[in-house]
Amino acid sequence: MKLSKYIDHTILKPDTTKAEVLKICEEAKTYEFASVCVNQYYTQFVHEQLRGSDVLTCTVIGFPLGAVDSNIKANETEKAIDEAADEIDMVINIGALKDGNEAYVRNEIKGVVKAAGGKTVKVILETCLLTNIEIVKACVLAVEAGAHFVKTSTGFSSGGATVETVKLMKETVGDKAQVKASGGIRDYDTAMAMIKAGATRIGASAGVSIVKQQPAEGSGY
């Protein structure tokens, strides 16, 4: 698979303008990225800009803290799906996980999966805030709840993806889910390290730079 097809071309900063989103969409079509990932406000606009291409529309839910009621996350998801989102990246309730409230975390993921109506759901763990034991637990809960991916990070906390964490997540989910590495991935070498560790999707705002750095002999990706 082409390297570009691993990348969710991402723009999530709070001061994002429509002109910036339009630029991201044009880049995504030019470089044939997997998706454009935006805040829910821009879902329908992105879908309209990507019409006729095979680039997907990805929307974040409960972003970036994950600390809203599970019903709100489900409602956000329903709204995003109504506005033609193809993929949903949701943030878990990190505090609930750390409190050991596994049932709550599992159920909130289930609620988003149900609201997504069969569309791809990626579960953001914010691994920099978790112990390895908690990362494993979150991955297991995501799989039990029917999610399609587990994802490392929002990119808004104290750290992003690491090779070690991606390996741990992939070892935990096996072939029951995929892994998305996100947060701090800004160059080709880092992206490839994440893919070799088990990631099948890369979340990055530097997608264009990453693919431009790809050496000719690496064109098998």
Number of helices (H) and strands (E) in the chain: give both, helices first: 9, 8
Catalytic, 180? Answer yes
* Active-site choice (73, 119, 151, 170): 151
Structure tokens belonging to residue 107? 């159920």
**Active-site residue among 119, 122, 137, 180?**
180
- Written as six digits, the tokens of 187 are 């160059």
196 is catalytic: no
- Residues 139 and 126: their CA atoms lie apart, in Å, by 12
151 catalytically annotated: yes
Rounded Cα distance between 9 and 27, Å, is 8
* Given 86, 89, 110, 119, the catalytic residue: 89
Q: Residue 124 class from Cβ within 10 Å (0-12 exposed, 13-18 middle, 19+ buried)?
A: buried
Q: Which residues are catalytic?
A: 89, 151, 180
